[in-house]
């Protein structure tokens, strides 16, 4: 039994990791409405959410039965078999959720748990059938297939229903209140807020109170049987309270509604989702205790797991404190919340996701539908409706760019109200819904209905939503598959394989943390470029950005030269990969240049400062280097003939010239001295002169037939692209010279 005690300890170590990783993923469900609307300082929002989490943990005891007997029939399995299933579930859950957190993608911890339990149960059931020689038709004796199918069906339905409901309620709410809601809220705010608070508070009772000890079963049954009376009384009481606040105080009634909604969702999360993190380890501990009390610990079946779960309150409180600590200090939690907020923000800016063919098709289809609707609606009615959605009425003047809310209180409340209502409805009818799926789809639908997805950003936002939704199905598939494989491996490999899996898991988490840090550093640079509004800082930092851009370009060109001359495929592949980073650095510079143009004095001649050409030059430098690295990599990758000795010598000369230009310009930006550019002009003249001579050399080689056709095409492409790079670098420094001179003039 000592081996199984070690396995129980491993389960609880994994539980601690799963708590941290799971909360980092699920914090998006109850924090985003408050964080996105800036309803209060971050520490106030976290205090409210923390209280909800701590209270919710005390309600969670009844939910622990899901892990004990929800998806397999424990009377059919022994201690060794259930422990292997539990370990497979926990390993998969920790690694899968950590992977999603690293890339900032919210997924469902519930679906991860359910799919993992289902996968482990299926494979263990199949092994037992194989051992007894029975056919697969008896698999239903070991697992609850009906429950699993019900959950996955409910998920598909909830995704569609959540999007439609969120879009409809947000559209009607915005139609009533508009974006300038300070005036309209005094007319309709009390009754509208009463409906919102009724949905939210009813959600606390229906979703949060399940499993609580201080509400008796009779009380909960009474609430269920008198639903309409409870809802009507709640609307009346909240309407009176909110109207009194509007009449006699200066308090913005929308703020407490958002904070109450945040509390309720946090409570429900802890009450219902805590099982996703510690339910399996607690079931493993119970299994160990059941077997230890038996005279045949390894032969007894786990019938006792069918009994009601009795969770130690001390364990629940510890789990709650771990979750609260994660909310406050875990960086990956911020990454996941940031993804949803950015997808739903009202303003344009840096988009995390790239466009995709499917996203472009959806946007084109939506535009056509919009044009059709516009044609069939009378012009007067359409104009009135359009005026209600006039985003120019949004007043963000009291916020600086870094503290500007992503959306207003109206949308935040709709997010909380609709999500609460749908989850309450599902719970009342015993439909297994994923909190993550409902809250995410509601948030996306309200942003869509609120016209946050404009023509400039729609394709990227839709692509982001598709990525997240695809990740949900990926979660279910991978969780099922991985748990099945791990269960098989540990069943036959025993403790040594289990320990090996622990070590592999630790290594994977270590690597994902490094990857997450790199991604966050890169994203923070891009976001900083979009939020910079200090004139002096913007122009000063621009010099450092250009220097870094040219330094990266130098390294890429070195790798291209070395990789092509030595036919080193690895170096060329690295150069090609680095051009993507160069393009992102270029996006930062272009964003700052466009912002810098705002600071340019009207008296500054357009002839002296060609903004369009400069922005194009930055893009052309990264594009030219991408083209050179791509054709060079493909040449070597396809095993074509290498460069001749003469071509290698010419390429070396070319490389030395262009990289020396990079270094010269970078040094000028480092010193922030662009007053004298004579040496740069000499360098550019030297490069052009050399390229003409090298081009003639190449033509002579073609005439003599001394080199291969593909090699000739490759080398001439390199010459042409390098010439373009040199010209574009010259344009970049000329613009920045003018920009910095203009800065000095405006200061003086």
For the record, the structure tokens of 601 come out as 């004095």
Asked if 552 contacts 423 with a C-beta cutoff of 8 angstroms, the reply is no
The runs of H, that is alpha helices, within 103-180 are 109-132, 145-177
Lowest-confidence pick of 126-135, 290-299, 430-439, 466-475: 430-439
Count other C-beta atoms under 10 Å from residue 356's C-beta. Answer: 16
Rounded Cα distance, 246 and 48, in Å:
23
Rounded to a whole number, what is the distance in angstroms from the first to the last CA of the chain? 82
Using a pLDDT cut of 70, give the percent of the chain over it: 76
The yes-or-no verdict on residue 87 having pLDDT over 60 is: yes
pLDDT of the residue at 520: 60
Nearest-angstrom CA–CA distance, 108 and 114:
10
Q: 571 vs 505, which has greater pLDDT?
A: 571
Section 498-514 average pLDDT? 78
What pLDDT sits at residue 345? 72
What whole-number distance in Å separates Cα of residue 94 and Cα of residue 547?
Answer: 41
DSSP string, 359-411: HHHHHHHHHHHHHHHHHHS-HHHHHHHHHHT-GGG---TTS-GGG--SS-HHH
Crossing angle of helices 709-747 and 678-704, rounded to 10°: 170
- On whether the CB atoms of residues 179 and 399 are closer than 8 A, the answer is no
* 641's tokens: 């003939």
Phi (first) and psi of residue 309, to 5 degrees: -75, 140
| HEC profile of 461-475 | HHHHHHHHHHHHHHH
Q: What pLDDT score was predicted for residue 298? A: 76
What mean pLDDT value characterizes the chain? 77
Residue pair 196/471 in contact (Cβ under 8 Å)? The answer is no
How many angstroms separate the CA atoms of 512 and 721, rounded? 37
Structure tokens at 71: 């998806």
Highest mean pLDDT among 100-104, 220-224, 455-459, 504-508 belongs to 504-508
- Tokens standing for 504? 């592999």
Q: How far apart are CA 416 and CA 258, in angstroms?
A: 7
Predicted confidence (pLDDT) per residue in 664-704, tens digit: 877 776 776 656 667 777 878 888 888 888 888 888 888 88
- Tokens representing 16 are 């601690």
pLDDT band at 612 (very low <50, low <70, confident <90, very high): low
- Unique residue bearing structure tokens 């606390």: 204
- At 667, list the tokens: 């040094």
- Tell me the range of 462-471, 521-530, 591-600 where mean pLDDT is highest: 462-471
Say whether pLDDT at 452 is over 70.
yes
Percent composition of the chain: helix, strand, coil (DSSP 3-state, to 5): 80, 0, 20
Q: Report which of 109, 97, 110, 67 is spatially closest to residue 85, judged by C-alpha positions.
A: 67
What does R_g of the chain's alpha carbons equal in angstroms?
31
CB count within 10 Å of CB 84 equals: 27
pLDDT at 532 over 70: no
What per-residue confidence (pLDDT) applies to 480?
87
Reference 617, options 739, 738, 724; nearest CA is: 724
| pLDDT at 541 (0 to 100) | 65
User: What is residue 301's DSSP assignment?
Assistant: B
Q: Is the full-model pTM beyond 0.75?
A: no
Q: What is the mean pLDDT of residues 632-660?
A: 88
Token output for 371 = 């044009």
Q: CA-CA distance, 281 to 365, in Å (whole number)?
A: 48
Residue 362: CB atoms within 10 Å:
17
Structure tokens at 323: 């979750």
Cα 297 to Cα 289: distance, rounded to the nearest angstrom? 9
Higher pLDDT, 478 or 347: 478
Residues 389, 172: Cα–Cα separation, whole Å: 11
Domains and CATH numbers, the chain: 2-486 (no CATH), 532-747 (1.20.58.220)
Q: Which pLDDT tens digit goes with each residue over 472-484?
A: 778 888 888 888 8
Q: What pLDDT band is residue 94 in, cutting at 50, 70 and 90?
A: confident
32-41, 342-351, 354-363, 494-503: which has the minimum mean pLDDT?
Answer: 342-351
Q: Which residue carries 């030059």 as its tokens? A: 617
Question: Distance (Å, rounded) from C-alpha 192 to C-alpha 170?
Answer: 12
Contact (CB, 8 A) for 303 and 56? no
Instruction: Lowest mean pLDDT of 430-444, 528-542, 635-649, name the range.
Output: 528-542
Alpha-carbon distance of 124 to 126, in angstroms, equals: 5
Place of tokens 């990956």: 332
Neighbours of 87 (CB within 10 A): 27
**What's the CA gap between 71 and 509, in Å, rounded?**
28
pLDDT tens readout for residues 389-402: 777 666 665 655 55
Q: What band does 748 get if pLDDT is binned at 50, 70 and 90?
A: very low
Q: Is 60 exceeded by the pLDDT of residue 350?
A: no
Q: How far apart are CA 517 and CA 331, in angstroms?
A: 9
Q: What is the pLDDT of residue 143?
A: 80
Q: Which of 59-73, 208-222, 581-595 has maximum average pLDDT?
A: 581-595
Token output for 204: 């606390």
Rounded Cα distance between 488 and 480, Å, is: 13
| pLDDT, tens only, 148-195 | 677 677 777 888 888 899 999 989 988 888 887 777 888 888 898 898
Tell me how far apart the alpha carbons of residues 37 and 408 are, in angstroms, rounded to a whole number.
Answer: 5
Measure the CA–CA gap between 381 and 498, rounded to whole angstroms.
67
**DSSP per-residue letters across 283-320:** HHHHHHHHHHTSSSTTT-B-GGGGSPP---HHHHHHHH
According to the model, what pLDDT value does residue 694 have? 87
Which residues in 610-645 are b (16+ Cβ under 10 Å) and which e? ebeebbebbebbbbbbbbbbebbbebbeeeeebbbe
* Residue 747, pLDDT score: 45
SS3 readout for 580-595: HHHHHHHHHHHHHHHH
Mean pLDDT of 500-529: 68
pLDDT at position 198 is: 86
Residue 234 to residue 718: CA distance in whole angstroms: 73
Question: 343, 354, 423, 395: which is closest to 32 by C-alpha?
Answer: 343
d(CA 72, CA 65): 11
Cβ-contact 579, 625 below 8 angstroms = yes
Q: Measured in whole angstroms, how far is the alpha carbon of residue 395 from the centre of its chain?
A: 28
């Amino acid at each position: 039994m000592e081996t199984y005690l070690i396995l129980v300890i491993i389960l609880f170590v994994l539980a601690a990791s799963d708590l941290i990783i799971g909360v980092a993923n699920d914090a998006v469900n109850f924090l985003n409405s408050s964080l996105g609307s800036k309803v209060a300082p971050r520490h106030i929002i976290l205090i409210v959410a923390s209280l909800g989490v701590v209270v919710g943990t005390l309600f969670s005891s009844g939910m622990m039965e899901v892990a004990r007997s929800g998806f397999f029939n424990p009377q059919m399995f022994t201690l060794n078999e259930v422990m292997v299933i539990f370990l497979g579930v926990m390993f998969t859950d920790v690694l899968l959720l950590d992977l999603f957190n690293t890339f900032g993608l919210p997924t469902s911890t519930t679906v991860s748990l359910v799919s993992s339990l289902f996968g482990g149960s299926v494979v263990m059931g199949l092994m037992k059938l194989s051992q007894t020689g029975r056919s697969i038709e008896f698999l239903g004796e070991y697992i609850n297939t009906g429950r699993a199918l019900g959950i996955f069906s409910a998920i598909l339905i909830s995704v569609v229903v959540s999007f439609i409901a969120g879009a409809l309620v947000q559209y009607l709410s915005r139609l009533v209140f508009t974006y300038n809601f300070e005036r309209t809220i005094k007319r309709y705010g009390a009754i509208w807020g009463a409906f919102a608070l009724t949905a939210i508070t009813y959600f606390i009772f229906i979703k949060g109170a399940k499993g609580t000890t201080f509400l008796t079963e009779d009380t909960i049954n009474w609430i269920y049987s008198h639903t309409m009376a409870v809802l009507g009384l709640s609307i009346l009481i909240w309407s009176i309270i909110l109207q009194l606040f509007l009449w006699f105080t200066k308090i913005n009634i929308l703020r407490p509604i958002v904070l109450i909604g945040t509390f309720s969702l946090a409570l429900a999360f802890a009450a219902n989702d805590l099982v996703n993190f510690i339910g399996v380890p607690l079931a493993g501990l119970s299994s160990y205790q059941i077997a230890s009390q038996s005279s045949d610990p390894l032969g007894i079946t786990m019938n006792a797991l069918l009994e009601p779960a009795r969770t130690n309150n001390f364990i629940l409180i510890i789990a709650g404190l771990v979750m609260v600590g994660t909310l406050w200090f875990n960086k990956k939690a911020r990454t996941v919340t940031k993804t949803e907020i950015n997808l739903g923000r009202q303003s344009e800016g840096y988009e995390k996701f790239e466009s995709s063919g499917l996203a472009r098709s959806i946007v084109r289809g939506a535009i056509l539908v919009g044009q059709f609707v516009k044609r069939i609606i009378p012009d007067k009615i359409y104009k009135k409706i359009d005026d209600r959605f006039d985003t120019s009425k949004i007043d963000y003047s009291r916020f600086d760019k870094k503290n500007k809310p992503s959306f207003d209180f109206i949308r935040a409340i709709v997010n909380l109200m609709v999500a609460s209502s749908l989850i309450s409805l599902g719970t009342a009818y015993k439909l297994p819904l994923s909190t993550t799926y409902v809250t995410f789809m509601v948030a996306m639908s309200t942003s869509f209905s609120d016209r946050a997805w404009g023509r400039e950003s729609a394709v990227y936002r839709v692509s982001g939503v598709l990525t997240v939704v695809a990740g949900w199905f990926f979660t279910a598939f991978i969780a099922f598959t991985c748990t099945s494989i791990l269960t098989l491996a540990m069943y036959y490999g025993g403790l040594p394989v289990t320990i090996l899996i622990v070590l592999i898991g630790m290594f994977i988490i270590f690597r994902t943390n490094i990857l997450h840090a790199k991604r966050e550093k890169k994203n923070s640079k891009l976001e900083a470029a979009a939020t910079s509004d200090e004139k002096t800082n913007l122009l000063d930092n621009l010099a450092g950005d250009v220097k870094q851009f040219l330094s990266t370009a130098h390294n890429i060109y070195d790798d291209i030269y070395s990789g092509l001359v030595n036919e080193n495929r690895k170096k060329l592949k690295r150069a090609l990969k680095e051009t993507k980073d160069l393009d992102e650095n270029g996006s930062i510079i272009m964003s700052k240049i466009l912002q810098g143009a705002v600071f340019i004095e009207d008296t500054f001649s357009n002839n002296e400062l060609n903004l369009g050409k400069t922005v194009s030059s930055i893009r052309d430098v990264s594009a030219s280097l991408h083209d050179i690295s791509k054709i060079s990599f493909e040449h070597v990758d396809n095993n074509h003939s290498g460069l001749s000795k003469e071509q290698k010598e010419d390429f070396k000369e070319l490389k030395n010239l262009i990289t020396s230009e990079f270094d010269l310009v970078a040094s000028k930006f480092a010193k922030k001295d662009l007053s004298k550019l004579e040496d740069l002009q000499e360098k550019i003249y030297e490069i052009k002169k050399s390229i003409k001579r090298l081009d003639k050399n190449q033509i002579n080689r073609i005439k003599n037939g001394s080199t291969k056709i593909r090699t000739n095409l490759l080398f001439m492409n390199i010459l042409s692209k390098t010439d373009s790079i040199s010209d574009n670098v010259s344009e970049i420094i000329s613009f920045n010279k003018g920009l910095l001179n203009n800065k000095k003039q405006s200061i003086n």
